Amino acid sequence: MKEMSGKMPAAVRVRFAPSPTGYLHVGGARTALYNWLFARHFGGTFILRIEDTDLERSTEESAGAILESMAWLGMEWDEGPYRQAERMHLYQEHAQRLVTEGKGYYCTCAPEELEERREAAKAAGQSVKYDGRCRAACHPEGALRFRLPEVGRTVVEDLIHGPVQFDHSDLDDFIIARSDGYPTYNFAAVVDDAAMGITHVIRGDDHLSNTPRQILLYQAFGYPLPHFAHIPMILGRDRARLSKRHGATSIAAYREMGYLPEAMVNYLVRLGWSHGDQEIFSQEEMIRYFSLEKVGKTPAIFDPQKLEWVNAHYLKTLPSSYLVGQMRPFWVGAGVSEGELAGASEAWLGSVVDALRERARTLTELAQASRYFFADPSRYDEKAERALAALSHSEMEELTAQLAALSDFSASVLEAFYRQFAEARGLKLAQIAQVTRAALTGSTASPPLFQVMEILGREKVLRRLQLALSRRPQ
C-alpha cells in the first residue's frame, strides 16, 4: 500500500478543514469521508478544523450547517471543531518568527498596483507573479510575504499522483498574512497542521498547486512534513467541474430530497475509490477495505441515477423501524399532520414503509406514495374513475356489507373472500380488486391490494368504500 510505504507514524492524525462560506459540498463531504475512513482504518484521530479567517465570507450559519451535515453522515470527529479565528496568537507568533529570521518581509504594494503589474506582465507575455520589489525594503508594516528560494525546485511526493515537481522560478513570494494581520490559507494551514501533528494531508487535487508553497513553509520552520494525498476532482456528466447547473451539490440538499445518509456515504466512497467490483458497503467494510492505494488518479463522474439506485437499495434493506424515524419529517412535508403521526403506532408506520419500500427511490417518493394510508382520497384519478364504474351500485353495496361481516381482516382472509365473491357472481377477481383499490387509494396503482386493506384496517376500508358509493350515481 502506498500509505504504508516506509514506516507508518505511531499514530495517524488527519483533518478535515472546511471554510464556513456555504453548505457542505459533495466534494468536501467525500474529502471528509476519505479522511475519516483513513483514520478509522488505522485506528487514528480525525480532527475537524473550521478555517474561518475569511471574515467577509465566513458565517456561523455555514459553520453550523457543515457540522450538521457531517453529523448526519455519521462522520463523528475525535477532536475539534477548532476555529482558526480563535488561534490568531499562534499565527502571529509564527509570522514574527519568519520576519525575525529574514524569511518573511512586509510589502506595501497596493492591490491596484499589483493588478496593473499583473496585467502588464500578461500583455508582455511574461510570467504573472509578484516581481519582488519590496524584497530589499525594510517596511515595518503592510502585507507579509514569504521569501521564497529563487532557484531550485520542490517535489511533492503525492500518495495518489506520485512525484510532482514544481520549479521555484514559477512561484512567487506569496502573501502569508494580510495587512490586518489575518493569515492566508497556505500559512494558517501549515501552522495548524504542524501544531496539531497532522501526519497525512488528504484533500482535493485543486490544492496540489498550493503544496510546494506549504512544503517550503514547513522547511522554513523546521517542521517535519506530513504525507500528502490529493484526490481527483468530481465532475458532472459533461466532464465539467461539478456545479449547481448539474443539479444539487450540497449534502443538505440531498438530505432534503429524501436521500438516506447510508446511501450518500456509500455513493461518495465509490466516487474515486473501489474494492473489486463491490458496490454496496457496510460502514465496517468501508473502514476495513479503505486505502489510498485504491483511489484513482482520474476525476470521478457524479451520476444522479447511480445515487438513486444506491438509495433505493438502502430503502429496500434497512430495518423498517429505522426508516420510520427517517420518514417522519417527509410525511409532514407530504401533508400528514403531526397528530396523525403521533396517533399511529411504530408497528403500523413500519407496515406502511414495508408496503411501499420496494417501489420508492427516495424518502420523498415514499412519503408522497403513502398519503392514502393517512387520509381518505380527496379525488380519484381518471383511471380510478373508470375502474369504479366496473361494478354496479348494488354489487358495491353487497361487497361492502360482506366485508363488514368478516371476523378476520388479514390479507390472506381478504384474498380468499374476494375470490369467492367474484366466483359467485361470475366476475373477474381483477375487476373487483381494481374497484376496491380505486376506492381506497384514489388510483389504480398500489402495493398488493390485500396488504393495503390489512394495513388500512376495517374501519378505513369500509368508510372509503361508502365514500366511493356516495360519489357515484345509483
Q: Write the pLDDT tens digit of every residue in 300-344.
A: 999 999 999 999 999 999 999 999 999 999 999 999 999 999 999
What pLDDT, in 10s, does the model give residues 21-35? Answer: 999 999 999 999 999
What pLDDT, in 10s, does the model give residues 185-196? Answer: 999 999 999 999
Asked if residues 20 and 62 have their Cβ atoms less than 8 Å apart, the reply is yes
Looking at residue 408, its pLDDT comes to 96
Exposed e or buried b for every residue in 40-65, given b needs 16+ CB within 10 A?
bbbebbbbbbbbbbeeeebeeebbeb
What pLDDT, in 10s, does the model give residues 54-103? Answer: 888 889 999 999 999 999 999 999 999 999 999 999 999 999 999 999 99
What pLDDT, in 10s, does the model give residues 290-302? Answer: 999 999 999 999 9
Residue 352 has pLDDT above 90, yes or no: yes
Looking at residue 32, its pLDDT comes to 98
Range list of β-strands (E), 278-433: 300-301
Looking at residue 52, its pLDDT comes to 92
What is the Cα–Cα distance from 160 to 163, expressed in whole angstroms? Answer: 9
Q: Domains in the chain, ordered, with CATH?
A: 2-80+234-304 (3.40.50.620), 87-231 (3.40.50.620), 320-374 (1.10.8), 382-470 (1.10.10.350)
Residue positions annotated with a catalytic role = 244
What pLDDT, in 10s, does the model give residues 135-157? Answer: 988 888 999 999 999 899 999 99
Looking at residue 2, its pLDDT comes to 39
Average pLDDT over residues 234-249: 82
Tell me the percentage of the chain whose pLDDT exceeds 70.
97
Looking at residue 16, its pLDDT comes to 98
- From residue 435, alpha-carbon distances to 30, 75, 413, 439 in Å are 49, 49, 18, 6
Looking at residue 474, its pLDDT comes to 55
> Average pLDDT of the chain?
93
Residue 25, beta-bridge partner list? 250
Residue 417 has pLDDT above 90, yes or no: yes
- From residue 402, alpha-carbon distances to 307, 345, 411 in Å are 47, 28, 15
Residue, of 246 and 281, whose pLDDT is higher: 281
Q: Strand order in 200-204's β-sheet?
A: 162-167, 153-158, 227-231, 200-204
Residue 386 has pLDDT above 50, yes or no: yes
Looking at residue 8, its pLDDT comes to 55
Q: Which amino acid is at 268?
A: L
Close Cβ partners of 285 (under 8 Å, ≥ 6 residues apart)? 275, 278
Asked if residues 173 and 147 have their Cβ atoms less than 8 Å apart, the reply is yes
Looking at residue 249, its pLDDT comes to 84
Tell me the percentage of the chain whose pLDDT exceeds 90.
83
Q: Environment class of residue 4 by beta-carbon count within 10 Å: exposed (0-12), middle (13-18) or buried (19+)? A: exposed
Residue 3 has pLDDT above 70, yes or no: no
Looking at residue 9, its pLDDT comes to 57
What is the Cα–Cα distance from 439 to 456, expressed in whole angstroms? Answer: 12
Looking at residue 118, its pLDDT comes to 81
Average pLDDT over residues 50-54: 90
Name the residue with cell 380505486. 438
Q: Nearest CA to 99 among 181, 168, 169, 171?
A: 181
Range with lowest mean pLDDT among 78-87, 199-208, 236-245: 236-245
How many degrees, rounded to 5, is the angle at CA 273 between CA 21 and CA 196?
50
| Residue 175 parent element (H or E) | strand 175-177
Quick count: other Cβ atoms within 10 Å of Cβ 386?
13
Name the residue with cell 525594503. 137
Residue 1: pLDDT band with limits 50, 70, 90: very low
What pLDDT, in 10s, does the model give residues 441-450? Answer: 999 999 999 9
Q: Dihedral of the CA atoms 136, 137, 143, 145 (nearest 10)?
A: 10
The region, left, alpha or beta by phi > 0 then psi within -120 to 50, assigned to residue 296 is beta
Residue 270: pLDDT band with limits 50, 70, 90: very high
Average pLDDT over residues 222-246: 90
Grid cell listed for 297:
488518479
How many degrees, rounded to 5, is the angle at CA 447 between CA 443 and CA 450?
100
